[in-house]
Structure 1
Amino acid sequence: MTSWITRPRNTLTESQDQRLLQVRLACPDITRACDLAQAFADLVRHRRGYLLLEWIRQAEQDAPKPMKGFVGFLHQDLDAVTAGLTLPWSSGVVERHVNRVKTLKRAMYGRSSFELLRTRILTQP
């Protein structure tokens, strides 16, 4: 259900679209959450960080409680979130390497020396 909400409507099959419509009609809170989630997904897809404050205002007014919690987390680091939704740069490559190093470290914990860990980290792509 969550993937149906966050994907563009034109990518859903006929049956998925009908089921989503039934759920939306059954619960007004889900309808509002769907609308806000789709608007946020649009901000992310099209890098419209300049519209984030407006989206937050709308969500604070009438979003269901779980979504208001998400909005609270956005407020905690608003500048970084806005930059992430606006700028083309990403720390994904760095995060990939950090994850790789942590995985190697966990796998080798208590089994070998620091020198072998260092060698594995430096020689693996």
Structure 2
Amino acid sequence: MKILYSKHFPPKGFAAINLFGIIIGRKEYGSLTKYEINHEKIHTSQIIELLWIFFYLLYGMEWLIRIVQYRHPLKAYYNISFEREAYHNDKDLDYLKNRPWYSFINYYRQPNDGKD
């Protein structure tokens, strides 16, 4: 897994972003923790399952739905099923060893008012 660091990306307030399996960390926040890397690895699994393009389409559509639902972009972000799964399991460094495919579906209806 490739990890790059940037001064300008991802947006401030976010430590990392996963683009097509490449993790980009915000340089000013320092090296990513093992939990942040695990979080992004969970996203990589989701991306692969959904053949890249469908992940980004579903992610964007769900974010728009959550914005309407929660009326707040950050609250919408934390309630995207892909993020719920990743935040809920990023401290479990063995999660990906036994993770069933499409596990994010289990997080679609669970409310989450903030990070786990």
TM-score band by shorter chain is: under 0.3
So what's the TM-score if we normalise by structure 1?
0.25
Relative contact order: is structure 1 or structure 2 higher (C-alpha 8 Å, sep ≥ 6)?
Answer: 2
So what's the TM-score if we normalise by structure 2?
0.26
Higher strand share: 2
Higher helix share: 1
